[in-house]
Amino acid sequence: MKYIKLVLDNLNIKPNSEIKGHVTVNYPGAYDGVVINTLIIGSNKLIVYKSYNDEKISDNVSRLFISRDVMPDNKAQFTAVIEFEPEQSHDVKFRASIIEQHKEVESDQLFAKFSA
């Protein structure tokens, strides 16, 4: 079994539509939390995370850290949005990593497609 699993509800992303996903951690050791990074390949634009575990994020956050303290059952849900109209389709790389004492110990990644 993988130590961390990243899942998106839909791998076809449209501009200004809500992206929903979740992370599950099965890491046997102690860890501080999970960080989720996203890269829109071929673009300098960013994704904006809007919430995690039903808590709104007030700032524009493009790199999301979720503390283990707010991950009941070692699970977290998140929402995000990409707020621009692409001129072409882009692959979007999502990467979730387990962080222990400021170091990455394990990660999972997946790719989605972003287009108008």
Domain boundaries, given as residue ranges, for the chain = 4-114
| pLDDT number for residue 1 | 75
Angle at 59 between CA 22 and CA 5, to 5 degrees: 15
Q: Is the pLDDT of residue 51 over 90?
A: yes
The mean pLDDT of 99-107, rounded to a whole number, is 96
The mean pLDDT of 25-53, rounded to a whole number, is 95
Q: Is the pLDDT of residue 94 over 80?
A: yes
Q: Is the pLDDT of residue 60 over 90?
A: no
| pLDDT number for residue 4 | 98
The mean pLDDT of 103-110, rounded to a whole number, is 97
Output the CA–CA distances (angstroms, integers) from residue 23 to 11, 42, 86, 92, in the order listed.
Answer: 15, 26, 27, 17
Instruction: Say yes or no: domain 4-114 is CATH 1.20.1250.20.
Output: no
Percentage of the chain exceeding pLDDT 90: 93
| pLDDT number for residue 30 | 93
Q: Is the pLDDT of residue 84 over 80?
A: yes
pTM of the predicted structure, to 2 decimals? 0.92
Contact, 8 vs 20, CB < 8 A? Answer: yes
